[in-house]
A and B are shown apart, each in its own frame.
Chain A
Amino acid sequence: MLNVHLYLAQRISAMVMAPLVLGHLAVMIYAIQGGLNAAEILSRTQGSLWWGLFYGLFVLAVSIHAAIGLRVIAHEYLKLTGGVLTAFTLIVGLTSLGMGGRAVIAVVM
């Protein structure tokens, strides 16, 4: 259900995300002050190469991580195997990548 490549992809994506999650937690605690509004969020992110790279990498890593994590759970609880399990993993990963990529483009471009 998990081969060595998927196991390593899960752990490496976790290691990549560790500093990104810390950054995201800090930004959230900072940004929530005085409530959320689109202009404030976009003034921080729009046109910023760094936020684009930060969240672009975050979306890539979380898509890999969530797809493999849910794959394990789908196998254990829903008894998915073989091609169905592979399809499930790909659908989760690519949906997350697509939606997340769109979100990054929306707030950075």
Chain B
Amino acid sequence: MIKPHRNHPLWYAYIVHRLSGVGLALFLPAHFYVLGLALKGTAEMDVFLNWTEIPLVKVAEVGLVFLLAVHFFGGLRILAVEFLPWSPRQKTYAAMAAAVSFFVASSFFMNAI
């Protein structure tokens, strides 16, 4: 079962991004190998491509397209979080965090002297 601390949308976003990334990385060599068959002529490549007519292989292809799409959108989320300007609300929270920290430290300071 999923541990309680992991039952959070951001944890799911993280694990989906990681697993889809590993899946795509494992698929890439096979993808490149099949395209490389074209060097030996179309017949060699078609032997493999005929295999993609099998329904189970088509389902696997759908899975791969999903992995690429979900890794793409998850990646856009990361880029947005890291590189887009902060919203006014985020700036307010950051300013509040700094202000409350100064207040806590000042309270300690006032009692320390």
Contacts and interface: CB of A to CB of B under 8 A. Distances in A.
B36 A96 contact: no
Contact of A105 (B29, B39, B53): B39
A69 B25 contact: yes
B67 to A, nearest CB: 11
Contact of B36 (A28, A36, A106): A106
A70 B24 CA distance: 11
Contacts of B75: 14, 18
A49 to B, nearest CB: 17
Size class of the contact patch on chain A = 20 to 34
B82 A107 contact: no
Question: Looking at chain A's contact residues, is the secondary structure mostly helix, strand, loop, or mixed?
Answer: helix
Contact of A106 (B29, B35, B52, B53): B35
A66 interface: yes
Interface string B17-56: 0100110110011011101111100110110010011000
Contact of A37 (B24, B37, B46, B78): B46
B42 A39 contact: yes
A38 B36 CA distance: 11
A57 B31 CA distance: 16
Given A36-B52, A37-B46, A42 B69 contact: no
Interface of B: 18, 21-22, 24-25, 28-29, 31-33, 35-39, 42-43, 45-46, 49, 52-53, 61, 65, 68-69, 72, 75-76, 78-79, 82-83
Given A37-B49, A69-B21, A95-B29, 4 more contacts: A14-B78, A38-B46, A59-B32, A103-B31
